[in-house]
A and B are shown apart, each in its own frame.
Chain A
Amino acid sequence: MILVALASLPFLFLAARRPVLRRLALRNAARRPRETALVILGSLLGTAIITGSLVVGDTLDASLSQGAVTRLGPIDELITAADGAERDELAASLQALDAESDLIDGVLALDVVTAAVSSVGGDDTTARAEPSATVVETDFDAARSFGGDPAATGIEGDTPAPGQAAVGEDLAEALALGAGDQMTLYAYGDQVELRVERILPQRGVAGFAQGFGTASPTLFVAPGTLATLNAEAPVGSVPPAALVAVSNRGGPLEGSELTEAVTTAITEHLGAPVPGLAPAKADLLAAAEDVGAEFTELFGSIGFFSVLAGVLLLVNIFVMLAQERKSEMGMLRAVGLRRTGLIGSFSLEGWMYALISAFLGALAGIGVGRVVAGVAANIFGGEEQALELAFAADPASIQTGFSLGFAISLVTVVLTSLSIARVNVIRAIRDLPEPPQMRTRTRWLVAGALAMAAGGAWAASGIPADDPYATMAGPVLVLAGAVALASRLLPRRFLVSMAATGALVWATVVFGLLPAAFEGVEIPIFVVQGIILTAAAVALVTQNQEILGAGLRRLGGGRSMAVRLGLAYPLARRFRTGMILAMYSLVMFTLVFIVVLSNLFSSQIEDFTADVAGGFDLQVSSNATFPVPPDEVRRRDDTVAVAALADADAQFATPRTAGEFENWFVTGIDEVFVDQGPSGLGDLGSYPDADAAYRDVLADPGLVIVSDFFLQGGGGPPEESLDPGEKISLRDPVSGRTRDLTIAAIADSSFGNAGAFVSIDSLVDLYGPRVAPNRLLIALEEGADPETVAVELNAAYLASGADAESFRSLVETNLAGQTQFFRLMQGYLAIGLVVGIAGLGVVMVRAVRERRRQIGVLRALGYPSAAVRRAFMVESAFVAAEGIAIGTALALVTSWQIVGTDTFGDDLPFAVPWLEVALLVAVTFMVSLLATAAPAQQASRIRPAVALRLAD
């Protein structure tokens, strides 16, 4: 905001000290209120897009960060002990630290398991189940005093007695439980009936839940309940986690700032590194911030096209304003106004527009962000665990959106003012056209030489280093410089056409030509590619409009005056046409690209299912405390094979993480998984086939198979993926034991196998009894219906928290989410379309005004009013159709090229959703025509005598 104030100072000075300029600016702004409104609309959309993307990030960050209050409260660090005895020892030691240190204000012992619970159905109620509830044992008095603020813990009443439960409000709502109701807890193959004593708020310790999300399906039981259930647990069950929670001094949010100091203090106090120590709240807040930032980047990047369209609209409008006011400008210069004064007058007017549009845009952006975040939360949360949205618009984000929008508008209008204030006084007064530039100015030659040198140097240094931006844009900069440099030697049209064609070809094929540079690229490179492609295509078309126009005129038979006149203006006014073409092309490029990409995934259900499923039909996940027994499932008549996999939280360090361990998960695989035909491999490394690679992993505990998406987050193609042969480290987050692994091969990118595959024996060896085969992959007899089997398994293994789903259903759900997300992006990008269409509308409104006299002449010569209307419609239709065609063609070529280079996944077959593309094109075209219908009608109503009288 300070920058905004500083940037505004010169304009405020002008307004205060130069009354003539102030009067000019104010009266010109008030002169055409409708067009002023369109200018402000065009530029406010850019600010709205920027602010919207920031607010999306804020909202997702806040929604996930609220878990710090609702799911952790005073808990800042969690230490997982090997067992209860070790935990008690740790807790006692840390109590001593609590007493002597200013850093922490509470230590609390917890026993936790994930287990299935159900309500007990009566005559008028139906039993409901939650397969993965967090079951906690702790002392309520200790929990209430933990952290020094009883309210923040959410803990109320006494510790539940045996047979009693205190249920968190999330779980109570899911199971429709109230105080006095009965419920059943299933764990370790046993079950216990509980009476609900009270419902606890979703806050602090009472809302305790681990992992990422916003829900807290939490239940508190009497101490000893879990130990009793675990006493006769089947072999392979994971015992309760014995945790020590530590509260840092300060409130639930401020406390996390002490995390580093507390971690150090604990380590020093215990005299050795604590392997199971996890900065739970700092991790949660960091992850929330990361997700928010990723979404801000994603929406900010794709929204950049729309922002750019808004900039083009502003430039176009200001150039048109200057043309309209040309004789006034000449007169002002003639009576003594200096060029700087003219710039000042225009800039002052633009500053007012920028200020108002930035303010309104920031407000609109809050609404945009809210809508986008709401839809995104539903998509990512799914129906069952929809993200509880905490709408947040950080004042800093709104200020940033306002400032950026203001800066973009202001820079645009000031630069445009500098250019348009360069008028010849006499030519301006007499409204004579500028003479054609016969010879390129020396400064352009110098600029061309500099651009060539800079582009060449950038490309020469960047291409060998696999810098994607230098590879993409360096050669294009060389071509652009060459046009200016050679413009005294060769015809401009030839030069621009050649350079534009070169840039088009380069930006399209460079992904395939130099794939190494684009491995693991981020979204902004696609923005750069889109801008290069669009600019080149628009330049090519603009320079060769006559050829297109002649062809169209021939098609029209040369007789249609409406076609002839409608084409004449856009062909003659190249700058104006080029700007609108660029607006349309940019927006259509991104929209069609997203449509094609969306279809690319959604049309591949069969292939994805086969890819993810391997030789299996469905999978069953269950609680590690009492996993679904594989042997029981094997005994079913309809099963052919059952692979027992173990999923566990893990930490990995790779050459890409600079030695830092990052959270991911690991999957232990067994022989059946390999026998039955696992999911495919994208990079076989040194193996002849997938089977050999998987068998080697089974045999060698030092090998691992990871996927393209290993350690990846957010959207877009994978970044910085690893290669076979690279070394990574796997760490058990509880024991801290580490194992070095070599990547054997890379699995196909897909959500079903995103864990790192090691042999289950190797995993048990590293993790001990804390891993169990909690995910079964099942191959069925031919003819058996996976959906039916899934329903049967869920019913049969409720006590294990079974969650069975066919692979096809899993893929469908996942793709449905992706498709919705693409729809959301389309909706977001459609804001840019509004900019483009508004731009066309503004241009046509102004065209009617500036051609008033010509329309009068035409009418005088016998041109029917309907033909005037038709001519305007032909004109807007031509420009819109060209822009739509350029954007659509570029999007199709680019998506085809990118799919061919496997950027978004291996062997994706390219297919165009023609119906959807046609619909998008038709709707855009029709709306464009509608936007120009009013000015066209206005033009047709111009009475010749009035127009001529005003003119003469």
Chain B
Amino acid sequence: MTDAPDLPTPARSAILSARGVGKTYRTGAEAVVALDDVDLDVAPGEFLAVMGPSGSGKTTLLNCLSGLDDIDRGSVRIDGESIHELSDARRTRHRAKTMGFIFQSFNLIPVFSAVENVELPLLLAGAAPKQARRRAEETLDRLGLGQRLRHRPPELSGGEQQRVTVARAIAGEPTIVWADEPTGNLDTETAAGVMQLLGDLHRDGLTLILVTHDQAIGATAGRRIEVRDGRIVADERQNASA
């Protein structure tokens, strides 16, 4: 593990480039600095694990870098766009076209079937309904859920639900996939299966930014950063084992 490098200028090849990002939460008179002057570059095809103890600011970092949350200072460029300078509508469109998300609680839409959940981002990105449906079915089939297309989330196991979430995240072939504790709600065996799947996708060229507090899962990533008190305190590249 090394100290966080000082990177004043973005790497030319970076797909994500954050500079001086700061975020402060205010509750009444109290202010909590969640992110403090964060700089980060992520190259295309990189598998980055964001590590750190609970409350360190990992999820806040993910939310701010992906544009889900606003930042108070600094800038974030994804695929050349400074996302926090975009209007909410444009930022939303940009997110639909370039990003996929995997959450700990799966966060599938319970009233939609598996295939409807997966085709959702495709339709939001402007795909034709038939094309979106075909792509969603293919993606689910690829992830071993070809027999569960019409099932709704409550009818699927936890592992199946998370695979549907992965399918939803990758079906639109996004530039970056963000995963926030994707195995947090899964048993060890199912979690290993999901990580295997994410590793395979990364090897196929997917840029993956994964938030976890699990050292074993972090070890599967090609690069690990450690967040403490809203700052990146370590940035380490390693040989991925997944």
Contact = CB atoms under 8 A, between A and B. Distances in A.
Contacts of B60: 949
A862 B172 CA distance: 12
Contacts of A558: 129
Nearest to B129: A558
A948 B68 contact: yes
A277 B66 CA distance: 96
A858 B180 contact: no
Contact of A857 (B66, B70, B109, B125): B109
B92 interface: yes
B198 to A, nearest CB: 18
A857 B103 contact: yes
Interface in A564-589: 564-565, 568-569, 571-573
Contacts of A856: 107
Interface in B45-84: 59-60, 63-64, 66, 68-70
Contacts of B190: none
How would you classify the secondary structure of chain A's contact residues: helix, strand, loop or mixed?
helix
A870 to B, nearest CB: 13
Contacts, number: 99
B105 A861 contact: no
Contacts of A859: 68, 92
Interface stretch (B5-13, B14-22, B116-124, B143-151): B116-124
Residue from the set B99, B108, B110 with the largest chain A CB neighbour count within 10 Å: B110
A546 to B, nearest CB: 12
B68 A862 contact: no
Interface in B81-96: 88-89, 92-93, 95-96
Nearest to B169: A861
Contact of A559 (B70, B123, B168, B180): B123
Given A559-B129, A944-B68, A858 B103 contact: no
Nearest to B100: A861
B111 interface: yes
B58 to A, nearest CB: 11
Given A948-B63, A948-B103, A864 B109 contact: no
Nearest to A856: B107
Contacts of A865: 88-89, 92
Given A863-B124, A952-B104, A568 B92 contact: no
Given A861-B124, A944-B68, A952 B105 contact: yes
Nearest to B154: A433
Contact of B123 (A561, A573, A860, A944): A561
Interface residues of B, number: 39
A561 B68 contact: no
B230 to A, nearest CB: 15
B96 A857 contact: no
A336 interface: no
Contacts of A339: none
Given A557-B129, A857-B107, A944-B68, A862 B93 contact: yes
B107 A948 contact: yes
Interface in A912-952: 943-946, 948-949, 951-952
B219 to A, nearest CB: 23
A93 interface: no
A569 B110 CA distance: 9
Contacts of B116: 564, 568
A944 B70 CA distance: 10
A862 B178 CA distance: 14
Interface string A521-560: 0000000000000000000000000000000000001110
A440 interface: no
Contact of A862 (B104, B108, B125): B125
Given A433-B154, A945-B69, A854 B125 contact: no
A559 to B, nearest CB: 6
Contacts of A568: 109, 111-112, 116
A853 interface: yes
Contact of B180 (A432, A854, A946, A952): A952
A572 B111 contact: yes
Given A557-B129, A862-B97, A952-B180, A946 B105 contact: no
Interface string A443-462: 00000000000000000000
Nearest to A862: B96
A943 B60 CA distance: 13
B53 to A, nearest CB: 16
A863 B92 contact: yes
Contact of A860 (B97, B101, B111, B154): B101
B181 interface: yes
Contacts of A945: 63-64, 68-69
Nearest to B123: A561
With most chain A CB atoms within 10 A of its CB, the pick from B88, B96, B107, B181 is B107
Given A943-B69, A952-B180, A862 B109 contact: no
Nearest to B69: A945
A557 B68 CA distance: 30
A865 B87 CA distance: 12
A863 B69 CA distance: 15
Report which residue of B66, B97, B112 has the largest number of chain A beta carbons within 10 angstroms of its beta carbon.
B112
Contact of B92 (A569, A862, A949): A862
B69 A569 contact: no
A862 B95 contact: yes
A860 B89 contact: no
A562 to B, nearest CB: 11
A875 to B, nearest CB: 11
Contacts of B109: 565, 568, 854, 857-858
A3 B139 CA distance: 65
A866 B60 CA distance: 25
A861 B69 contact: no
A432 B185 CA distance: 13
Contacts of B181: 952
Given A558-B129, A571-B111, A948-B103, A861 B59 contact: no
Which of B63, B99, B109, B116 has the most CB atoms of chain A within a 10 A radius of its CB?
B109
Contacts of A564: 116, 123
A853 B154 contact: no
A558 B107 CA distance: 23
Interface in A821-867: 853-854, 856-866
Given A865-B88, A943-B69, A857 B123 contact: no
A482 B66 CA distance: 57
A260 to B, nearest CB: 70
19 contacts: A561-B120, A568-B116, A853-B107, A857-B101, A857-B107, A858-B120, A859-B92, A860-B66, A861-B120, A862-B93, A862-B96, A863-B96, A864-B89, A865-B89, A945-B69, A948-B103, A951-B105, A952-B59, A952-B180
Given A945-B69, A946-B69, A952-B104, 11 more contacts: A433-B110, A568-B109, A568-B111, A861-B96, A862-B92, A863-B120, A866-B89, A948-B180, A949-B59, A949-B60, A951-B103
Interface of A: 432-433, 557-559, 561, 564-565, 568-569, 571-573, 853-854, 856-866, 943-946, 948-949, 951-952
3 tightest A-B contacts by CB?
A862-B96, A945-B69, A572-B111
